[in-house]
Chains A and B, each alone.
Chain A
Amino acid sequence: MKKSFKLKGLDCANCATKIEEHVKKVDGVENASVSFMTQKMTVETSSDDEEIFKKIKKVVKREEPDVKVEEI
């Protein structure tokens, strides 16, 4: 499962790296890549279980409270 999200308000390159690192650690996430320039996060997950995406959103919220995750 590959899914992309828009990260609205992602305004520092450091934050992009942090989000990427932490999202990769979420259970069920096989790979994650955050592009600061395109403000896009692409995640590969083992299944399309809503729980995984909820967790991912939670992690982003924890790392950068000002960033809004939107599904594309």
Chain B
Amino acid sequence: MKKSLIQIIISFILFLVAMAVPFENDLINKGLYIIAYLIVGLEIVWKAIRNIFRGRVFDEHFLMAVATIGAFVIGEFPEAVAVMLFYQVGELFQDYAVDKSRKSITSLMDIRPDIAFVKRNGKIEKISPEDVKIGENIVVKPGEKIPLDGIIVEGSSMVDTSALTGESVPKEVTVGDEVLGGCINENGLLTIKVEKEFGESTVSKILDLVENASSKKSKSENFITKFAKYYTPIVVIIAVLLAIIPPFVLNLGEFTEWLYRALTFLVVSCPCALVISIPLGFFGGIGGASKTGILVKGSNYLEALANTEIVVFDKTGTLTEGVFEVQKVEANGISKEELLKYAAYAESNSNHPISISLKKAYNKEINQSSILNTEEIAGRGVSSNVEGREVLIGNDKLMKEKNISYIPCNEIGTILYVAIDNKYAGYILIADKIKEDTFKAIKTLKKNNIKETVMLTGDKKEVGEKVANELGLDKVYTELLPDGKVEKVEELMKDKSEKGKLVFVGDGINDAPVLALSDIGIAMGGLGSDAAIEAADVVIMTDEPSKIGTAIKISKKTMKIVRQNIVFAIAVKVLVLILTAFGIGTMWEAVFADVGVSVLAIINSLRALSVKK
């Protein structure tokens, strides 16, 4: 690149001298022009000749060579040099811009771990992550990148997962927790037992996915490829006709004048601006999205997202936490803490999700020695002796059977009634909780003119409708079996307009058929879930549904940039062609237009890379 810059500078100086100094013998001027031309253009002419032998006439090098040599022939020396000079400046800039964006995107994805410190025979060896086998222990010091997926066997620390998730708050991990390669270990020394080979690790899969995203091309890119296929030959044919028909057939003035116009046509015959800036824009959009923890598997999906009309959500795990939590404690005659304590104690020996949520809500050490005679009553609940008191905990049937006068409660969720020493002591409401982030997510979607938000769930009608109402969703379908979900999505697909797209958002585990059926399948919480990464078109690494809105915004911005570039580049070229045909445009203007459009379109494309969180 440095070499060509020097060439351009030398050539430019010679060009200026030839322009500014009127030598007595104008052969000196002509000689200077030719030398200046050869310095910058020889390479192009050489490539052009090579292409002729391969039968490739519509190659941009060939066209530039013909245009400039033609200009020399009709005596337009300064034009010939200027065209080649500016063409090369444009090329140089293009290389620079593309190189720069490549670098900024790769640095963005610079999450590939390079080294692993593995414990072998009591010694620590430094090797490549690819050579570490499953079951081996690796050591990760503070500040280092975790090389492979595994489980912590020693130590605890804070890990920065932002490279994978876009999430900036570090996560606390300790013995028994799973950690993923690509995350940064912030402060503690960790020993990790490797669970997956490098090629199978999450970070490898993500990198693979993003790097191959460009192989699924968008409609816009295909349009440009087609456009380029026809544009160049058409312009060249018109150029040939322009050189021959007006002067010879219509007798409209000098041949050299028309030839000059025809050569000017050749200068703008390359659709370079479009061919480079459109893929660059999509690549930037995909890169920007992955920075925020959204993986888009192809530019076709990024393009489609902009036309989203209907967003269909799966409820559990997507809109809600997917875990049961104590929502409410209503005590009768004792304190809330006491009620929760007795309930947690009575249920302490069970691993049922409900018992777990009780223990979590109580959040204190349970003194096992104070629990006696715990007995499970199938389909009813549990009876137990806690600190000498008889505790009954379970549903309404249990209360009725034991003749306890309880106060029936009709809240939505799982209700646990508690009786202590055969006296009603209150109830505990356990339910799945809507994610904090979901409210924001739905708001963003509505702001972005999504026509319909729909929720599908296998849950009971009351539960589903309550969640949908709270969130302000447009439609809700409840008590659906898995194939019922497929049916509903098929129905909804008919609701949208011709160009509109239906997005389905799920956790990627049980909804593979629906993900495949919808226009764009989005899987949430992809981190660590291979199934989700495989099944979906877009993977959101965190469990925040608000990222859907972010993805749509990125898509819209990218499409705006792409459209601007297409319209701008084509309009300028057509304008130059028209002006030239009527003899108003000069070769100078044509080359400025051609290079200028490319440069502006590339700069515009680079905007796609920056994403506001």
Please provide the chain B residues from 539 to 580 with a CB less than 8 Å away from any CB of chain A in the complex. none
Distance between Cα atoms of A17 and B233 in the complex (Å): 17
* CB contact between A11 and one of B50, B98, B214 (< 8 Å): that residue: B98
5 A-B residue pairs with Cβ-Cβ distance under 8 Å, sorted by A, are A13-B275, A14-B60, A14-B228, A38-B214, A40-B211
Residue contact B211 to A38, C-beta cutoff 8 Å: yes
Residue contact A35 to B214, C-beta cutoff 8 Å: yes
Residue contact B225 to A42, C-beta cutoff 8 Å: no
Chain B, residues 68-104, CB within 8 Å of chain A (1/0): the string is 0000000000000000000000000001001001100
Distance between Cα atoms of A13 and B275 in the complex (Å): 6
Query: In the assembled complex, which residues on chain A have CB atoms less than 8 Å from the CB atom of B214?
Result: 33, 35-38
* CB contact between A35 and one of B54, B98, B211 (< 8 Å): that residue: B211
B105 within 8 A of A: yes
B517 within 8 A of A: no
Please provide the chain A residues from 14 to 69 with a CB less than 8 Å away from any CB of chain B in the complex. 14, 17, 33, 35-40, 42, 62, 65
Tell me which of B187-195, B276-284, B478-486 binds A. B276-284
A1 within 8 A of B: no
Residue contact A14 to B275, C-beta cutoff 8 Å: yes
Query: In the assembled complex, which residues on chain B have CB atoms less than 8 Å from the CB atom of A13?
Result: 275-276, 279
Query: In the assembled complex, which residues on chain B have CB atoms less than 8 Å from the CB atom of A11?
Result: 95, 98
How many chain B residues have a CB neighbour from A under 8 Å?
20
Query: In the assembled complex, which residues on chain A have CB atoms less than 8 Å from the CB atom of B105?
Result: 37
Residue contact B225 to A17, C-beta cutoff 8 Å: yes
Residue of A17, A40, A65 ringed by the most chain B CB atoms within 10 A? A17
Distance between Cα atoms of A65 and B211 in the complex (Å): 25
Distance between Cα atoms of A35 and B298 in the complex (Å): 12
Residue of A37, A38, A62 ringed by the most chain B CB atoms within 10 A? A37
B349 within 8 A of A: no
Please provide the chain B residues from 139 to 167 with a CB less than 8 Å away from any CB of chain A in the complex. none
Query: In the assembled complex, which residues on chain B have CB atoms less than 8 Å from the CB atom of A36?
Result: 214, 279
Chain B, residues 4-44, CB within 8 Å of chain A (1/0): the string is 00000000000000000000000000000000000000000
How many chain A residues have a CB neighbour from B under 8 Å?
15
Distance between Cα atoms of A42 and B105 in the complex (Å): 19
* CB contact between B215 and one of A12, A14, A35, A65 (< 8 Å): that residue: A35
B212 within 8 A of A: yes
Please provide the chain B residues from 482 to 507 with a CB less than 8 Å away from any CB of chain A in the complex. none
Give the shortest distance, in Å, between B300 (CB) and chain A (any CB): 13
Query: In the assembled complex, which residues on chain B have CB atoms less than 8 Å from the CB atom of A62?
Result: 54
- Interface SS, B side: helix
Query: In the assembled complex, which residues on chain A have CB atoms less than 8 Å from the CB atom of B212?
Result: 33, 35, 42
Distance between Cα atoms of A36 and B272 in the complex (Å): 14
Residue contact B279 to A33, C-beta cutoff 8 Å: no
Distance between Cα atoms of A65 and B225 in the complex (Å): 22
Distance between Cα atoms of A48 and B195 in the complex (Å): 29
| Other A-B pairs beyond A14-B228, A37-B102, A37-B105, 6, CB < 8 Å | A14-B275, A35-B212, A36-B214, A38-B211, A40-B211, A65-B50
| Nearest A-chain residue to B276, judged by Cβ | A13
Residue contact A42 to B215, C-beta cutoff 8 Å: yes
Distance between Cα atoms of A34 and B272 in the complex (Å): 18
| Nearest B-chain residue to A16, judged by Cβ | B279
Residue contact B225 to A12, C-beta cutoff 8 Å: no
Query: In the assembled complex, which residues on chain B have CB atoms less than 8 Å from the CB atom of A17?
Result: 225
Residue contact B215 to A33, C-beta cutoff 8 Å: yes
Distance between Cα atoms of A38 and B60 in the complex (Å): 23
| Nearest B-chain residue to A65, judged by Cβ | B50
| Nearest A-chain residue to B106, judged by Cβ | A38
| Nearest B-chain residue to A38, judged by Cβ | B211
Give the shortest distance, in Å, between B434 (CB) and chain A (any CB): 40
Query: In the assembled complex, which residues on chain A have CB atoms less than 8 Å from the CB atom of B279?
Result: 13, 36-37
| Nearest A-chain residue to B214, judged by Cβ | A35
Give the shortest distance, in Å, between B444 (CB) and chain A (any CB): 29
| Nearest A-chain residue to B211, judged by Cβ | A38
The 7 lowest CB-CB distance pairs between A and B, nearest first, are A33-B215, A35-B214, A37-B283, A13-B275, A13-B276, A38-B211, A14-B275
Chain B, residues 92-136, CB within 8 Å of chain A (1/0): the string is 000100100110010000000000000000000000000000000
Give the shortest distance, in Å, between B549 (CB) and chain A (any CB): 26
Query: In the assembled complex, which residues on chain B have CB atoms less than 8 Å from the CB atom of A33?
Result: 212, 214-215
| Nearest B-chain residue to A11, judged by Cβ | B95
| Nearest B-chain residue to A13, judged by Cβ | B275
Distance between Cα atoms of A65 and B49 in the complex (Å): 13
Distance between Cα atoms of A38 and B50 in the complex (Å): 27
Query: In the assembled complex, which residues on chain A have CB atoms less than 8 Å from the CB atom of B101?
Result: 37
Query: In the assembled complex, which residues on chain B have CB atoms less than 8 Å from the CB atom of A37?
Result: 98, 101-102, 105, 214, 279-280, 283
| Nearest A-chain residue to B280, judged by Cβ | A37
Query: In the assembled complex, which residues on chain B have CB atoms less than 8 Å from the CB atom of A12?
Result: 272, 275-276
Distance between Cα atoms of A40 and B207 in the complex (Å): 13
Give the shortest distance, in Å, between B223 (CB) and chain A (any CB): 13
Distance between Cα atoms of A14 and B60 in the complex (Å): 10
Distance between Cα atoms of A12 and B275 in the complex (Å): 8
Chain B, residues 199-226, CB within 8 Å of chain A (1/0): the string is 0000000000001101100000000010
Query: In the assembled complex, which residues on chain B have CB atoms less than 8 Å from the CB atom of A42?
Result: 212, 215
Distance between Cα atoms of A11 and B96 in the complex (Å): 10
| Nearest B-chain residue to A37, judged by Cβ | B283
Give the shortest distance, in Å, between B395 (CB) and chain A (any CB): 55
Give the shortest distance, in Å, between B601 (CB) and chain A (any CB): 12
| Nearest A-chain residue to B59, judged by Cβ | A14
Give the shortest distance, in Å, between A42 (CB) and chain B (any CB): 6
Distance between Cα atoms of A12 and B280 in the complex (Å): 11
Query: In the assembled complex, which residues on chain A have CB atoms less than 8 Å from the CB atom of B95?
Result: 11
Give the shortest distance, in Å, between A23 (CB) and chain B (any CB): 13
